[in-house]
Amino acid sequence: MNFVNSFRAEWLKRRRSLASWLVVVGAFFTPSIITASRIKNHAALAPLYAADDFWRKLWNQSWESMEVFLLPIGIILATGLIAQIEYKNNTWKQLHTTPQSYTTVYAAKLLVVLLMLVQVFALFNVGVYLSAVIPSALFAGVPYPAAPIPFDDFWAANVNFFVDCLPIVALQYLLSLHFRNFLVPVGAGFALWFLGVGLLSWEYSYLFPYNHGAINFLTATGHFDGRKVPFRVEHLALVYAAAFTAAGWLLYVTKREKG
C-alpha cells in the first residue's frame, strides 16, 4: 500500500514538468505530419488506400522517424525532467523524510517514466490510425483503407519496440538521479544516441543499448538484409535494462548526498 501511495504522489508530480507535454507532442508529431501531407495531396490517395499493403506501408512510414529519432530523444528528455522535479524544487531532503524507503522512491519514479512511455505508444498508435482515416473522412474521393489491419503483427512489434526502449530508460534514469544539473544526463544521452546512430553500420552495433529499437525496425523493413544478429535484440535489451536498473538503484541508495 505504501508503494501505491508513493506512486500516486509521483504521478501527480509529473504535472509540474514538461514531461507530460512531451508525451502528447512526441506521440502525435509524426502522425500529424503524415496527416497534413495526405490532406494536401488527397487527390492522389485513392490508389494508395486501395492497396493490399496500405497499413504496412503506413506503419513503416510512421515508425521510421519514431524509432530512430523521436523515441530515444523523447525518453532522454522526459526521464531527465521527471528526476529534475525534485532538484528544481529542492525537495529531495523533504521527500526522504517521508515514511518510505529509498527503494520505494526509486521504483515509484521509475514506474512513472515507464507508464509515460506506455502512454506514448498508445497515443502514437491512435495517431497512426487517425492519419489513415482522417483523409477518407474529409474527402469523398478517398476511400476507407481496403486492407484489414494486421493487429497481431502490430501488437508484437509494439511489444518489441517497447522492450527495446527499456535500456535507454534505465540508463537515463540512473544518470538523471545521479546528477543535479539537468544538462549532464540529457547531454550524455544525446551523445550516446548520436554515437549509436553512427554505429548502425557496424557489424556489432546490436551491442550498443541505444541501437536496439532502430536495429529492430531496420531489420523488419528489410534494410538490414544479410546482417546476422546471433540473438534477438529484445533479449539483450532486457539484460541491459536489468543491469542498468540494478546499478541505478545501488548508486541511489548508497549516495551520501541525495539532493
Residue 193 confidence (pLDDT): 94
For residue 210, the model assigns a pLDDT of 94
CA–CA separation, 258 and 208 (whole Å): 30
CA–CA gap between residue 205 and residue 136 (Å, rounded):
41
- Region 73-88: mean pLDDT is 89
- Across 111-125, 141-155, 220-234, which has the greatest mean pLDDT? 111-125
- Higher local confidence (pLDDT), 1 or 8: 8
Model pLDDT, residue 256: 75
Q: 24 is written with which cell numbers?
A: 502528447
Lowest mean pLDDT among 67-71, 83-87, 245-249: 83-87
Confidence band, pLDDT 50/70/90 cuts, at residue 1: low
Tens of pLDDT, residues 93-114: 888 888 888 899 999 999 999 9
Positive or negative, the CA dihedral 167, 170, 175, 180 is: positive
Over residues 48-71, the mean pLDDT reads 92
Q: Give the whole-angstrom CA distance, residue 64 versus residue 203.
A: 21
Q: pLDDT tens digits, residue range 228-255?
A: 777 789 999 999 999 999 999 999 988 8
